[in-house]
Chain A
């Protein structure tokens, strides 16, 4: 058995010196060189470790532990220093990158020559808004997160009502489970507008409300989870079903064209009575019957009806004096009908090849 050429103290001293040098390294290149020198195959620690094989077991164990400890602490110091240097380098880069945005030189930026594009849902919505403004409607908006009161109950849809089930509601976490929803239609704004007008004495109301709505429905070519509706609401004196029919016809012709007409069919919504779905002449075949309209010549557009007296009661409007109608339909669907693209999901992909067409 040979005698060791080093002892525990020597290992400690070597490690301490190495760590001092690591801490003093000022850049990553220097640190890499140190890493190689101290822990690499030519390093002192490795050289000492080679001796271990020839030592007696007790010494071998003692010095082996010392060497492992030294290698670990030096390695740790290098890693720590490397991280610090990388942080400093990143910080330096940010400093070099620094730009004071108040000094952006006036007229330095020449605008791009190419004009951008509004989204087709936006252009459709704007056009619909303009049609209704011309018919005498105000355009108003409301929140997307609603409570069960506005989205359902004030619209004559109490808890457990089958219509709630049909709405495929997405619920938002709340202090009381099941009371906060992503609005399933723009109709809650009917309640907000009527309540406010009744409270403030600002009836009549002639309003349309466009906005995003949500249904828990599997997305496919003709359904989206997030989509857009426009709601119409009129509360005035002497308003009847005939006014509803006339408004829908006027809108249809103004937006879709002279040869497109609307028809109303009996339907059921808890917040209108009588209720009607409205169809318009198929915009593809112009009523000649095609595959798109299921050989009927008609396309379903939306729902409507004369406001139910129970809704007036809930919002505090005197049904003896006031009457009204409401309607709602899909904005995306109007875009779909007019531009005849095959899959609604293209609307949400933001693919510039699609966006640039509108």
Chain B
């Protein structure tokens, strides 16, 4: 909301230091988002009358204008063409500095001396028009300062952000009231003194009828009837204020209405009485299918729901006495009863409409007007009469012949019964943590129009009708406390760092996530952040045809689904880097993937809807850790090694890499180079390790070097963090032996179906308590090894806690291991 400082100054003393004013407004919650200086730098600019225009030899775009500045003739070279002899235009004489900092000097153009500059609106900082000179209307006397001719008062205009719970501050008076309360000075609101009805004037009720059919949506309707109206321009000072507030002056009737709204926050609307069917007004809900042509030239279809949540499809309209809609209540008037040059009789509407009703209609019709913005936040129904009187008072300034009929017609609907809130010192201290004192609280609240009764130990507080945000008891007490805190000043509440006996800490999953990240960073991976909202093609890329989780209003039309895998996003990130010749990189991401409730193993049910009473199926979420390895030499083996780094960091006890069958490979994964990660103790699958399927890699990263393998690891983070699924190693540590160890190497030929971990286990068990470790250091296929078999080279390290093992003991163990491998694994010694 734009507020000229000069207007505020009519109510309260404004500090000379603008920064001080801004700081005060910020602290009151009326945040200053912009500061504009208007009319500054125009001091030297005067009105000039064009006396003659002459061409300049050799120039076809500029001419020499001779103007009179009231003291004599001045020759100025000018490039504009929208003026003629007799025009009145702004002249910036030599030496003037214009608002944009331009300094006017005597210049020579094409051999002709120019003694100043004739100016456009843009050059004067008065508008955007730079198509030609600002041609002044009304033939002001040459030599008149431009600011006087235009009625411009040099001013500072503040752009304030008014919060949704401050409908009362959505006007100049409201802002000034806050400032006065903060300064502790008395505040005098505007008291309109409109011309009285002349003796024997007709009563408004004889000329116009007002009916409220839907009292729930229209709490009050005040209709004032005016005769002798002469439509014309507004006084210059009034038009100037409107302009500064960002509104375009239209005519004296409309301008008076707008001015009163900016000043008091109460919108009003003027109808041409003679164009109003049946000379009456009726407020009712629109019927489906009704149409209304609006002031802005558009036509709206009424009472058709948009289907948006909370939209009842209702529209409230003001009709004439023949039941034809003539205005969309609280938003915009109709075109048919618009004030025109021929208007002589006016019905002025000042009404209170339900905030939600106006909000719904304004949103559905895409009409956000100065009036609707104010009604949406909630207006003050008691302000309707005062606003009407203010409009009449303002109008009388430009229409001496204005006659007012006696007694406006006032129709009553339902208005809120203001609550009486009992606030004691504990209420304030308990919420704010500071002792403001009940007397001070009473003073602060009283200063902004709250009715306060000082009881012995409490205050009985009634908010003004303009504060619908202050709720009934018990919640309203908090609203009152906020007002006290705001006016007292947040900065005046001493901060206190709270303490409690409970220690802080990370949730277990947060800790696990950090450990996983550290492990991945340790093996050289970079963390990527890829989007949750992805294209449909992502699923196609990996051949996924299951149902996607769609969003109904995607930001980008090509990204309408929630990701179901981290693979496409990471491949896209890899592609970004490959295309920039920096693709030798391992990327990882820890992120959520989504599963449609129709295909989720266990649909997630959540409370939803009004009151949270319904149970609704929502998409399942799974947090995953995924790594794509794209460095030279990266492959499934490196992916397994990467997994081992994570397993080691989390101290996982026994997770088996189980080679996967070719026909059950996960989507996008190389069918013959993949494995599941199986927690042996619990039987839980923790994830998948392997390579990206070559054709998927080629599609996703077209410029990938031929033959480059992409290692792939995709793990369920929640499973990793769950001891019931990912078994942790015992925390008890074993003491290393002080005696030397010995190695026994074995080469065993085994069926490929025998898992290497089983071989290790069998050997370890056969070796007994002396076994320190079993490592597989080679796998061989070829001559001497039958098809479907492999030869594994294993090294068993043996060590006794209390002595050096003898050759005899080692041989015994070796024999026992061979025996076990042969009998339980059908191995042959190679």
Contacts and interface: CB of A to CB of B under 8 A. Distances in A.
Given A139-B504, A160-B310, 5 more contacts: A160-B356, A239-B498, A241-B434, A241-B490, A242-B432
Contacts of B527: 116-119, 122, 355
B410 interface: no
Interface stretch (B140-148, B200-208, B263-271, B614-622): B614-622
A171 B640 contact: no
A136 B75 CA distance: 78
A103 B550 contact: no
Task: Please indicate which of the listed interface residues A135, A217, A264, A356 has the most CB atoms of chain B within 10 Å of its own CB.
Answer: A264
Contact of B554 (A150, A170, A308): A170
A170 B614 contact: no
15 contacts: A101-B659, A104-B637, A108-B637, A109-B638, A114-B524, A116-B521, A118-B517, A122-B517, A135-B497, A141-B509, A160-B359, A173-B549, A264-B490, A268-B163, A350-B576
B499 interface: yes
Interface size bracket, A side: 35 or more
A100 B752 contact: yes
Contact of A97 (B431, B493, B580, B673): B673
Contact of A136 (B490, B502, B675): B502
Contacts of B377: 162
B612 A149 contact: yes
Interface in A120-170: 121-122, 126, 129, 132-141, 143-150, 153-154, 158-165, 170
Interface stretch (A28-36, A38-46, A49-57, A175-183): A175-183
Given A116-B522, A147-B618, A98 B672 contact: yes
Interface in B499-529: 499-500, 502-507, 509-510, 514, 517, 520-529
Interface residues of B, number: 134
A257 interface: no
Task: Please indicate which of the listed interface residues B360, B520, B645, B756 has the most CB atoms of chain A within 10 Å of its own CB.
Answer: B756
B482 A133 contact: no
Contacts of A97: 670, 672-673
B485 A247 contact: no
B685 to A, nearest CB: 14
A155 B606 CA distance: 16
B587 A243 contact: no
B26 A268 contact: no
A144 B621 contact: yes
A231 B29 CA distance: 22
A356 B555 contact: no
B532 interface: yes
Contacts of B491: 263-264
Contact of A323 (B163, B430, B562): B430
A174 interface: yes
A268 B164 contact: yes
Interface stretch (B63-71, B444-452, B771-779, B812-820): B771-779
B592 interface: yes
Given A106-B777, A114-B524, A136-B503, A348 B531 contact: yes
Contact of A176 (B307, B514, B616): B616
Interface in A208-247: 212, 214, 216-219, 225-226, 234, 236, 238-243, 245-247
A108 B638 CA distance: 9
B401 interface: no
Interface stretch (B83-91, B249-257, B473-481): B473-481
Given A116-B524, A249-B495, A273-B479, A350 B612 contact: no
Contact of B433 (A104, A243, A250, A308): A243
A274 B486 contact: yes
Nearest to B483: A274
A116 B478 contact: no
B679 to A, nearest CB: 15
Nearest to B582: A352
Contacts of B509: 141
A137 to B, nearest CB: 5
Interface in A179-212: 179-180, 182, 204, 206, 212
Given A99-B637, A147-B607, A309 B514 contact: no
